[in-house]
Amino acid sequence: MLYDQFKAKAEAVSAEVYRFSDRNAALSWLVDFLKREGMGDTPETAALWASGPFLTGGERQQLTSGSGISFVVTQEMAAQARFGINLMAWALADTGTLADNSTDIDQRLVSSLPTIHIALVPTAGILPDMPSLFTRLHPRDCSYLAMITGPSRTADIERVLTIGVHGPERLVILCIDAFEGGK
């Protein structure tokens, strides 16, 4: 129910939303997606993954050696990379928004500089609205609370809606059912 609302609202602002039953399903789709969309080993085609509780150490190693995903994130790399991947712990159904404690700078680098931002979201983290988020995520224990609703956009030239100004051109959201998100 909340998922359907979230999906509809997020898609209405040009985000792409997919749902997976578990981590493995999401992971293999993601690897396919990255290949399909041109991940390579040049800085411009790189995929950067902000470290988080999503992967086990073993999986991380496997992904690094097997596919070229980097778990090291720097400003220079992020500024050139095509893909940025991170975990966003929360989502708001009524506006199609992702939310997270992004105090860690890597969380922001991968979600603001690359061309495509891929967010992994526990389906259970979808909340009805902002007030319910604020009872769970509070500045008390979060220096940079980030909310993201669709890709970067502008209407500053002749009011024509154009996607992808300073932030990502695409926002791809992977909702995962059997995943607690490490909260």
The position carrying tokens 């769970």 is 136
Contacting residue, 70, 86, 112, 123, with other proteins by CB under 8 A: 112
Query: Does 158 engage in binding with other proteins (CB under 8 A)?
Result: yes
**Positive or negative, the Cα torsion across 9, 15, 18, 19?**
negative
Nearer to other proteins, 36 or 140 (CB): 140
Q: Which of 37, 31, 97 is nearest to 69 (CA)?
A: 31
Contacting residue, 29, 32, 79, 183, with other proteins by CB under 8 A: 79
Query: Does 125 engage in binding with other proteins (CB under 8 A)?
Result: no
Give dist(CA 132, CA 180) in Å, integer: 18
Footprint on residues 15-74 left by other proteins (CB under 8 A): 74
Half-sphere exposure of 153 (CA within 13 A, CB side): 14
Residues that bind other proteins (CB under 8 A): 9, 13, 74-76, 79, 94-97, 103-105, 108-109, 112-113, 129-131, 134, 138-140, 142-160, 162, 164-168
